[in-house]
Amino acid sequence: MSPEGIQSGSQTGSLRHPTTETLGEWAFGVTYGTLGVSEALSMRESRNWRFLPGQGANRFAEVLSTAAIDAHLRTDAARTPRIAMADESQRGSAGVPAEEFTLDDGRVDLPRLLARFDAGASLVVSQFDETHPPLQRLCRGLEKLFLHAVQANLYLTPPAAQGFRTHYDTHDVLVLQVEGRKRWRVWDGEPLPRPTRRTGWTGKLAPEGEPHTLLLEPGDALYIPRGVFHDAATEPGETSLHITLGFLEPSWAEALRQLLDDVEATDPGLRESVPTWRIGEDDLHPALEGTLARLAAPGLAERLQNLLLSHLPQDRQPLPARGLMDRMPEGPLRLADGMHHHVVQGEDGVVALHWPGGVDILTAEQMDDLTALADGAIPRDRDFAAHLWRHGMLERDR
């Protein structure tokens, strides 16, 4: 599924679920069912929404339940802005003012939240993958396939209610129907082509044509690309719980901004002044074209690739294999399940491991060990293995 082997910008080995499946294989199977990986990638590259019928009502039960949300709401972690409520029936914004269901310090006021839910407001829990281990593993596994961040937001909607009005998102989403049923309307096309977080929601656009109506039942999934209008409401007498997986891939504009920030530190040409005082005298086009050509220099595409890969171990919550009291065992070890990393070999032959622990320069012997540990092996360099173990990069081979 994810790139295998040791090469510039690649990931080493694969992540393991407690069974013989890799973490990526488990996450993909839970999320996409019988859909093939190549078909899922093609779906991401298209601009068309798609309904994915379920393979059983309990398909998503292992990653989320209403009981898990109830338990979370009774903890000190249940605070705004991660906890929100929405009700499209109220005037103005559909977002319920936080003071209606929280205390002064941002903690949930559970009795008032329950009363607001009973009155028709939907509960929204953002980025629940950062506090709920099953969803954390699901997102980390999908990140191994897509090589960008994935987050999980939850929506619990009371009967005959609608949280948000008709809208589009600025990133692709995959809706997983966990409990109950929810009726969705989806429109074809993108009135604003490929919106991003910078273009955002203008509030002036409206969907075109007639919507497609679908009733999602437990185990069903619905893929909606960014820019596609949609809305959803529950049926009378039915409460609905669904997960919205947000695919947070960068746009080309965002990627180029990252590259410019990185290259500026080493390229004096990009730090040259723009002679604005010459506007009207000299044509700036040649200078602009020459500057833009610098971004097509050899090696910059690979530099951008490594920048994008580096964001995974830096920005996502790592899942070290070891616990506080664990000691490195004897016998075969392998690279750990939930630790994003990649290996880069520079033009000078220097090999660097990028991981949540930082950047390590590897000797040829360590590179050989790392390659072997991708599939499980007894490390030859115990000091190097102990270093990786201390930072959670290794686990016992199964």
Dump pLDDT digits (tens) for 124-142.
Answer: 999 999 999 999 999 999 9
Backbone angles phi, psi at 315, to 5 degrees: -100, -20
Inform me whether the pLDDT recorded for 168 exceeds 50.
yes
> Does one domain contain both 276 and 187?
no
Q: Is the pLDDT of residue 6 over 60?
A: no
- Residues 150 and 182 reside in one and the same domain: yes
pLDDT value at residue 15: 34
Compute CA distances 97 → 83, 87, 94, 246, whole Å.
11, 10, 9, 24
Residues 101-123, mean pLDDT to the nearest whole number: 96
Do 185 and 39 lie in one domain? The reply is yes
- Does 46 share its domain with 176? yes
Q: Is 229 domain-assigned?
A: yes
Can you say whether the dihedral through the CA atoms of 204, 207, 208, 209 is positive or negative? negative
User: What's the mean pLDDT when you consider all of the chain?
Assistant: 89
Task: For residue 17, name the pLDDT band (cuts at 50, 70, 90).
Answer: very low
What confidence category does residue 42 fall into, taking pLDDT thresholds of 50, 70 and 90? very high
Helices and strands (H, E) in the chain, number of each type:
10, 15
Q: Are residues 126 and 220 in the same domain?
A: yes
Tell me how crowded residue 264 is: count the other CB atoms within 10 A of its CB. Answer: 12
| Predicted confidence (pLDDT) at residue 324 exceeds the cutoff of 50 | yes
Q: Domain tally for the chain?
A: 3
Model pLDDT, residue 13: 35
Instruction: Examine the domain organization and report whether 118 and 58 are in the same domain.
Output: yes
Domain span at residue 368 reads 315-396
> 95 or 222: whose pLDDT is higher?
222
Residue 241 lies in a domain: yes
- Whether residue 386 lies inside any domain: the answer is yes
**According to the model, what pLDDT value does residue 20 have?**
63
Strand order of the β-sheet with 230-234 is 212-216, 182-186, 230-234
pLDDT at 18: 42
Classify residue 5: in a domain, yes or no: no
Same-domain check for residues 344 and 262: no
- Say yes or no to pLDDT of 354 above 80: yes
267 inside domain: yes
Residue 235 lies in a domain: yes
Mean pLDDT over 17-36 rounds to 84
Residue 303 located in a structural domain: no
| Average pLDDT rounded to a whole number, residues 166-190 | 96
Residue 247, SS3 per DSSP: strand
Q: Are residues 241 and 336 in the same domain?
A: no
Least confident of 49-53, 247-251, 288-292: 288-292
What local confidence, expressed as pLDDT, does residue 113 receive?
A: 98
Specify the CATH number for the domain of residue 59: 2.60.120.650
Give the pLDDT band (50/70/90) at residue 39: very high
Q: What is the pLDDT of residues 370-380, one digit of tens each?
A: 999 998 999 99
Q: What percent of the chain stands above pLDDT 90?
A: 68
pLDDT score, position 346 = 81
The answer on 274 and 338 residing in a single domain is: no
Among residues 245, 32, 248, 249, the alpha carbon closest in space to that of 126 is found at: 245
- What the block records as the tokens of 281 is 């005298």
What does the pLDDT read at residue 14?
Answer: 34
| Backbone CA torsion sign across 215, 157, 201, 254 | negative
Q: How many CB atoms lie within 10 A of CB 68?
A: 16
Task: Check whether residue 85 and residue 171 sit in a common domain.
Answer: yes
Q: Are residues 91 and 107 in the same domain?
A: yes
- Report strand pairing: 230-234 vs 182-186: antiparallel
**Which one is predicted more confidently, 318 or 73?**
73
Percent of the chain with pLDDT over 70: 94
Looking at the domain assignment, is residue 140 inside a domain? yes
Per-residue pLDDT of 258-295, as tens digits, reads: 999 999 998 998 999 988 888 888 778 888 888 888 88
Domain termination residue (choose one: 228, 248, 268)? 248
Verify that 345 and 289 share a domain, yes or no.
no
Decide if pLDDT at 8 tops 80: no
